[in-house]
Structure 1
Amino acid sequence: MRILDRYLAWAVIGGTLLTLGVLLPLLGVFILADEVDSIGVERYNLFQALLFMLLSLPRYAYLIFPIATLIGALIGLGTLASRSELVAMRAAGMSVSQVVRAAMLGGVLLAVFAVVLGELVAPAAEQRGIELRRQALSGDVAQRTPDGFWAVDKGSYVNIREIRSGTRLSDISIYRIDAAQGTLVATRAEGARYRDGHWILENIARSRVSSAGVEVERIAKAGWDSMLDPGLLKVVVADPNALPVWGLYKYIRFMSVNKQDAGPYEVAFWNKVLHPVLTLSMILIAIPLLLGSSRSTGMGRRIFVGIMVGILYYLVSRTFAYLSLLFGMNPFLAAIAPPLLFISGALLLLRRVG
């Protein structure tokens, strides 16, 4: 049975990889189409648009991975069913539970691959793509590091430790060197708000360093003329779904300490934690769909069924996510409910075909 287990597992893996190989180029075309209008602006050219598209694909691969697994299982196992191999395995004494176990073996390997993709590859690749795109479009020099966001702003060096939103910043340091007078002006503000087209720095400590010594000035509020407008800063505020689990956990703790609403990040956190469960549940759904259909069912029909189930899952999961955000539903329950509903449905179908 171990040979059959490996055979079925590789059928699931091969079908999933084939599905990703078809879907990702299509997504790449859509991403590139969105960038066409930006090509030619400042230093943003076709090569950089292609690079941005390639760096964005790992995240999209992670997002569609469960659906790709469902379609891949329908394709891989469906090919065996159309060649009567599944029937032969059943006739040789292989039970439905053994078919499920073998398919799940492939699912576990795919789930591990998805975790590596979503936690290590996709966040780093997408952040790099966003930075390269922004630098090419704006023409400035800026970088996000573990010490915060750095930018060159009209001759000043700016460090922003926390970007809470496009219009709220905290812990800002601004350094400006006046070569003519031989002075260094270091400004530190606890926070900043964007109002009426201008930044307002709050709780400021300004130090002027010169050959005569250091002068320190404290100001409650002051205007800040900066090219870093909210539209530019929003690109460095990562989409919750693009952050790794550990990054989401740290940000949720930060927002909780500061008594801010971390709802979207909590939902994204639990969705990421439960992502492997979702991948396995999609394979579990595929098996009764195959065993309950005739061998003459075409591949196109199987793919269509997979797409419809995937769309249904997306609608259900979005519904629970909105319930969590609008009505205060527990984020863990909002994330676990859709997979549990689909697993329950798959188990009921398995009982019928078993």
Structure 2
Amino acid sequence: MRILDRYLAGAVIGGTLLTLAVLLPLLAFFLLADEMDHVGTHNYRFADAALFVTLSLPRYAYQVFPIATLIGALVGLGTLAGRSELVAMRAAGVSVGRIVLGAMLGGLLLAILAVAMGEALAPPAERHALTMRQAAKTGDTMQLTESGLWARDGDSFINIREVKPGAELRDISIYRVSGTELVSATHARAATYRDGMWMLEGIERSHVSAEGVRVERIDEAGWNSLLDPDLLKLIVAEPHALSVLGLYRYVRYMQQSEQDGDRYQVALWAKLVHPFLILAMIFVSTPILLGSARSSGLGVKIFFGIVIGIAFYLVSRSFAYFALLYGFDPALAALLPPLLFVAGALLLLRRAG
């Protein structure tokens, strides 16, 4: 049975990789076409757009992995069905459950690959892509480190320790230089974005000159900066640019500061469920193949797989929005769609078996 399991797993893995090899170039083409609208803005050139798309592909590959697995399983196992190999297996006494188990072993390896891509590769690549594009389009550079967000704004270097939702910053340091010499160092306790500019609060500013250092304290002052809230939100706290650990830490921070972190909880649970979703898609593909092995060709099965994949995407997104709008449990919103599809697949498998 081990040889049979490897054979079925290999068919699923090969079909999924083939599907990704078709889907990703198509995604890259559409992403690049969308980026062409921005080419020519400041220093943003075609090569920058191509690099941005390349760095964004791991995230998109991670997102489409479940649907690619569903189609890939239909392609791989459908090829076996087309050569009557699945029929021969069942005639030799191999149960439907054993065929499903062999296919799921391939899904397990694919799930591990997806987790590695979604945790180790996609988040840093996405952050670097966003930073690179912003630098090319505006001339400003930003960098996230353990000491917070570092950015350059003209002749100033900025360090922001906390970026909070609602256009609010905490613990801001602004270092203004002239050439290689420090001109002033400003520290602000907080900043809020109002009327198109930042308002700094609790300011302590040190002016550096040949005569010495002069310190002044100001309760509140305006600060004109190219760092607007939308940019900070994009770079710092977009859920798709965070790993599971990053989302968990951010959710904990939101809870400890008594803020609304539902959006990040939904994203966290979606990532936690993602590997099991890949296995669920393989499970769903099996009754499509076994239930219609004699009545339809591979093309029809793949069509049904695409329809099911689109339906699942719409249902899962709907549950995510319901969780945000109506306060549903994020874990339930993430788990219920795949459970419903697996339950439907079980019913179909009972009929096929």
* TM band (smaller chain): over 0.9
Match of 2:242 in 1: 243
Taking only aligned residues, the RMSD between alpha carbons, in angstroms, comes to 1.9
Matched with 1:117 is: 117
Aligned ranges 1:52-131 → 2 under 5 Å = 52-131=52-131
Would the aligned equivalents of 2:168 and 2:190 in 1 still touch at CA under 8 Å? yes
Shift of 1:165: 4.2
- Structure 1 partner of 2:253: 254
Given that 1:324 and 1:330 are in contact with CA atoms closer than 8 Å, whether structure 2 keeps it comes out as yes
Q: How far did residue 28 of structure 1 move?
A: 0.3
In the TM superposition, residue 213 of structure 1 has moved relative to its aligned partner by 5.5
Deviates more, 1:208-217 or 1:271-280: 208-217
Matched, 1:27 2:27: yes
Q: How far apart, CA to CA, are the structure 2 residues paired with 1:93 and 1:215?
A: 88
- Take 1:161 and 1:334, find their aligned partners in 2: how far apart are those partners? 33
Is the contact made by 1:176 and 1:185 (CA closer than 8 Å) also made in structure 2? yes
Give SS of 2:216's match. Answer: strand
Read off the aligned partner of 2:171 and give its amino acid letter. D
Query: Aligned runs of 1:160-199 on 2, under 5 Å?
Result: 160-165=160-165, 167-177=167-177, 184-199=183-198
Tell me if the contact between 1:24 and 1:61 (Cα under 8 Å) persists in the aligned partners.
Answer: yes
Give the aligned residue type for 2:317: R
**Residue in structure 1 matched with residue 277 of structure 2 by the alignment:** 278
Unaligned runs of 5+ in 2: none
1:184 is displaced (CA, Å) by 4.3
Once residues 26 and 239 of structure 1 are traced to their aligned partners in structure 2, the CA distance between those partners, rounded to angstroms, is 24
Task: Note the alpha carbon deviations across 1:125-176, whole angstroms, 9 max, x for none.
Answer: 1111111111111112332223222222231111112222473222211112
2:134–2:141 Cα contact (<8 Å) kept: no
Residue matched to 1:312: 311
**Preserved contact between residue 107 and residue 279 of structure 1 (Cα < 8 Å):** yes
Matched residue, 2:324: 325
Q: State whether residues 55 and 125 of structure 2, in contact with CA within 8 Å, keep that contact through their aligned partners in structure 1.
A: yes
Rounded to whole Å, the distance in 1 between the matches of 2:94 and 2:205 is 76
Report deviation, 1:230.
3.2
| CA distance, structure 1, for counterparts of residue 41 and residue 179 of structure 2 | 33
TM-score, length of structure 1 as denominator length: 0.95
How far has the Cα of 1:32 moved from its partner?
0.2
Deviation at 1:210, TM superposition (A): 5.2
The one-letter amino acid paired with 1:203 is G
**Shift of residue 209 of structure 1?**
4.7
Please tell me whether the aligned partners of residues 165 and 237 of structure 1 are also in contact (alpha carbons under 8 angstroms).
no
The answer to whether the Cα contact below 8 Å between 2:202 and 2:220 also exists between their aligned partners in 1 is: yes
- Give the drift of 1:62: 0.3
Q: CA deviation at 1:56?
A: 0.5
1:233 aligns with 2:232: yes
Aligned pair count reads: 353
Q: Which amino acid in the other structure matches residue 91 of structure 1?
A: A
Residue 294 of structure 1, CA deviation: 2.8
Give the alignment's TM-score, normalised by structure 2.
0.95
User: SS where residue 38 of structure 1 aligns?
Assistant: coil
Query: Match for residue 302 of structure 1?
Result: 301
Residues 67 and 235 of structure 1: CA distance in aligned 2, closer, same or farther (over 3 Å) = same
Larger mean CA deviation between 56-65 and 153-162 belongs to 153-162
Q: Displacement, 1:187?
A: 1.3
User: What code does the residue aligned with 2:188 have?
Assistant: A
SS at match of 1:274: helix
Cα distance between partner residues in 2 of 1:244 and 1:98: 35
Q: Which amino acid aligns with 1:119?
A: E
2:144 is aligned to 144
Match of 1:15 in 2: 15
SS of structure 2 residue aligned to 1:227: coil
Q: Compare 307-316 and 75-84 and name the one that shifted more.
A: 307-316
Q: C-alpha offsets along residues 295-338 of structure 1, whole Å, 9 cap, x if unaligned? A: 35222211211111111111111121122111111111111111
**Percent identity over paired residues:** 61
Structure 1: distance between partners of 2:154 and 2:166: 20
Distance (Å, rounded) in 2 between the aligned partners of 1:57 and 1:27: 8
Unaligned runs of 5+ in 1: none
Deviation at 1:205, TM superposition (A): 2.4
CA deviations 1:58-83 (Å, max 9, x no partner) are 00000000000000001100110011
Give the Cα separation in 2 of the matches to 1:166 and 1:48. Answer: 31
Give, in whole Å, the separation in 2 of the partners of 1:283 and 1:94: 18
Q: CA deviation at 1:346?
A: 1.2
Distance in 1, matches of 2:156 and 2:174, equals: 7
